[in-house]
Amino acid sequence: MKGEKKGIFNSASVGPDKCTFCKIAMGEFPSYMVFEDEKYIAFLDINPFSKGHTLVCPKAHGETVWDMEETEIGGLFLLASRVSRAVVEATGAEGFRLLQNNGEAANQVVAHVHVHVIPVMMSHKGKPMDRMQLDGGEMEATSAAIRKALSRF
């Protein structure tokens, strides 16, 4: 599936040596990790749309899904689905969004493939969601609750 990114633009393009998500995957930057294996990681978004907003990404650097093999894309979305179950259970959400952006025009901010798992409540229905700030204690408690729930899925 790897291919040319003709027409895809991202002013945040950097190599793996400067990529924030690569540095998180290597343990060089702190994060509220909820899952890690040899190919993928999942961690809380530091500026979430809702409590429990989690990012799922491959450890291997690539900017868009076009940089991934089909089996890697499948693995990414299988993990995102599994993480969504844990996020919904841990947060008491009434629904969830899976969001994956490719390129700056699609609102991709970090030029490393990732899937957003965003828990939502009925009160969010039909309303735009703003980014929020949660304190470290709340982020740690939320990531622990998601890790615990994830162990059952």
Burial label for 30, CB within 10 Å (0-12, 13-18, 19+), is exposed
The residues, any chain, with a CB within 8 Å of residue 58's CB and separated by 6 or more, are: 39, 40, 68, 72, 75, 76, 113
**Would you say 33 and 42 are in contact if contact means Cβ atoms under 8 Å apart?**
yes
How much is the mean pLDDT over the chain?
94
Task: Please give the helix or strand (H or E) that residue 139 lies within, else none.
Answer: helix 136-150
Asked, for residue 40, whether it belongs to a domain, the answer is: yes
pLDDT at 6: 62
Could you read off the pLDDT of 99-134 as tens digits, one per residue?
999 999 999 999 999 999 999 999 989 888 899 999
The one catalytic residue among 61, 112, 114, 116: 114
- Total of domains in the chain: 1
Give percent of the chain with pLDDT exceeding 70. Answer: 95
Distance CA 92, CA 100 (A): 23
Confidence of residue 3 (pLDDT cuts 50, 70, 90): very low
Asked, for residue 145, whether it belongs to a domain, the answer is: yes
Tally of CB atoms within 10 A around 48 = 21
Quick check: 1 pLDDT over 80? no
Asked, for residue 20, whether it belongs to a domain, the answer is: no
Indicate which CATH number applies to the domain containing 48: 3.30.428.10
Average pLDDT over residues 6-26: 88
Asked, for residue 137, whether it belongs to a domain, the answer is: yes
Among this protein's residues, is 114 annotated catalytic?
yes
Asked, for residue 6, whether it belongs to a domain, the answer is: no
Q: Which domain holds residue 118?
A: 33-150
Higher local confidence (pLDDT), 7 or 128:
128
Could you read off the pLDDT of 130-153 as tens digits, one per residue?
999 999 999 999 999 999 999 998
Asked, for residue 8, whether it belongs to a domain, the answer is: no
